[in-house]
Amino acid sequence: MAMNLLSLCFLVVTMPFENSLMNYVGLFNETVALFISYLIAQINDLRYDPPTTVIIGNTIVYTIYLSWLVNGLVVLGVATSEVHGKLRKLYLTKLRWKYSWLRPKMDQQQQSETKRERQFPELEGRAGSLTGKKMRLKVGD
């Protein structure tokens, strides 16, 4: 029990993980371990009657199940977030431009500009050639 309390104090003071979610999960786990240690000490030291001991034992079991559920949900959430990020990166870098039905919709002006770029690639980069702006020529006196 003292070791759990020292570990909990260490986690509160230092916050050793880079991710704040992992720090909070560590705090939760140490708090649950401290609570379970307290309940086990209650059963062993105070010698309750059997029905009270069963109630305390069931509380220990439910607390462990709650801890497993919370940790499982955190792991599932982190894994889902990682998979979502990798799938989004794959979509944005490769799949989106590979298939025409995944490309973003363009308005009429953008479609005509891209058609001109494909037809006349040598005009790309010249002033006014693709933007539709008129060039002004200064005529000397």
Is there a domain that residue 119 lies in? no
Note down the domain range covering 48.
2-95
Is there a domain that residue 19 lies in? yes
Is there a domain that residue 82 lies in? yes
DSSP 114: H
- Model pTM score: 0.58
Measured from the Cβ of residue 33, the count of other Cβ atoms closer than 10 Å reads 19
Is there a domain that residue 108 lies in? no
Number of domains the chain contains: 1
Is there a domain that residue 116 lies in? no
> pLDDT tens across 9-68, in order?
898 899 888 888 889 999 999 999 999 988 888 887 777 788 888 888 899 999 999 999
> pLDDT tens across 62-109, in order?
999 999 999 999 999 999 999 999 999 888 887 777 777 767 676 666
Is there a domain that residue 9 lies in? yes
Is there a domain that residue 43 lies in? yes
